[in-house]
Structure 1
């Protein structure tokens, strides 16, 4: 029997509990909520928090990197869809729901952009969404003037219902349906005005959106 196995399992369990409670706490009170309250919610001592995360920024960075890993988890289903249009539907449905259920994410994204502007793992999805958009256009299913950035902005718009604290989540598919109908190719469309934004500009903008967070201690 390995005497270190149980302590390691306990440590991992505490780590996962702290991340889960941080998501809830930060959603409710913002990413500058007291870490003592995080410890209390997780049922651990304050020292345990700092054994797992050297400081608040380390916790926020892990939440960010975990979110990027979750994006990768969506990829097989979205990219494996039978049509490009179905990929568009799944992209908006899965990511829109994910953002709506994770209202702490915008603040986490802003903080990481402040801490490490060069850390941009989310930019790797640019080619993925570009490919999905082009495939749906070639099928004649997606309107020809829509860009990958338009789809990304729509994810943010759908996800913004999370600001209501979950009260609107049972109804958010109404907005998803409106959005999908607006994206479908048909002869009587009103052309979109101007050129779309470049993905790099959108990435930087999305990581800086919203009010600035309060100064840290």
Structure 2
């Protein structure tokens, strides 16, 4: 009886392992395709051939389309993955020891993430074209406003800076990713300059005009580069 039970358990274990193996392979292929798509889109643009994606990932073209029925599905998943990354940053900002530390983390972490993600601007534009109502980025506005308010209350952040101003700075720093890996060791030089300009002190020159509304900034950031600038 004992030997029979052992054989039964071994057969069951082998059966489960066999059924899980294709799932593991599929998951690995999925993750590899996403990673290679980021690199491909960064190098060749959002409309790069998906056949090349298959070659880079070491899979057949059919595998690409089993995971992503079309290019739009791939782009949408890359976008939603980026939103998930941002959600994981948010608790760190809110838990920072001070408002100023939250500002430093915000600019450092999100800018560094963008610098290392040069595929994202094109992905953002394409998703805005595909579905203008898909605007998960707006969920971060209350968190950003809370961080800014806290730093101002501590008198560490200049009073005329808004959350949108900081978002623009993140975009500016993140755009350094266009230079590729060669600039990665240096981008924090620009971050240090920006942080010095954000600190509250008595001899500041007031910022001109009113700050941009977040909704306007959100839509603008998802459409940047899609049309020529007015003359």
Hey, what's the Cα distance between the residues in 2 that align with 1:211 and 1:170?
30
Which structure's relative contact order is higher, taking Cα pairs within 8 Å and 6+ residues apart? 1
Q: What does residue range 20-31 of structure 1 map to in structure 2 within 5 Å?
A: 20-31=35-46
- Alpha-carbon offset, residue 78 of structure 1: 1.7
Match of 2:215? 200
Match of 2:137? 122
Match of 1:168? 183
- Alpha-carbon offset, residue 127 of structure 1: 0.5
Match of 2:4? none
Structure 1 unaligned spans of 5+: 213-217
Q: 2:66 aligns with which of 51, 65, 80?
A: 51
Q: Is residue 19 from structure 1 mapped to residue 19 from structure 2 by the alignment?
A: no
Match of 2:10? none
Greater C-alpha Rg? 2
TM-score, with normalisation over the residues of structure 2?
Answer: 0.90
TM-score, with normalisation over the residues of structure 1?
Answer: 0.96
Hey, what's the Cα distance between the residues in 1 that align with 2:151 and 2:183?
30
Q: Is residue 74 from structure 1 mapped to residue 86 from structure 2 by the alignment?
A: no
Q: Is residue 134 from structure 1 mapped to residue 146 from structure 2 by the alignment?
A: no
Q: Is residue 155 from structure 1 mapped to residue 170 from structure 2 by the alignment?
A: yes
Q: Which runs of 4+ in 1 moved over 4 A?
A: none
Contact 2:125 2:226 in 1 (8 A): no
Q: 2:80 aligns with which of 40, 62, 65?
A: 65
Match of 2:200? 185
Q: 1:101 aligns with which of 109, 112, 116?
A: 116
- Alpha-carbon offset, residue 184 of structure 1: 0.2
Match of 2:6? none
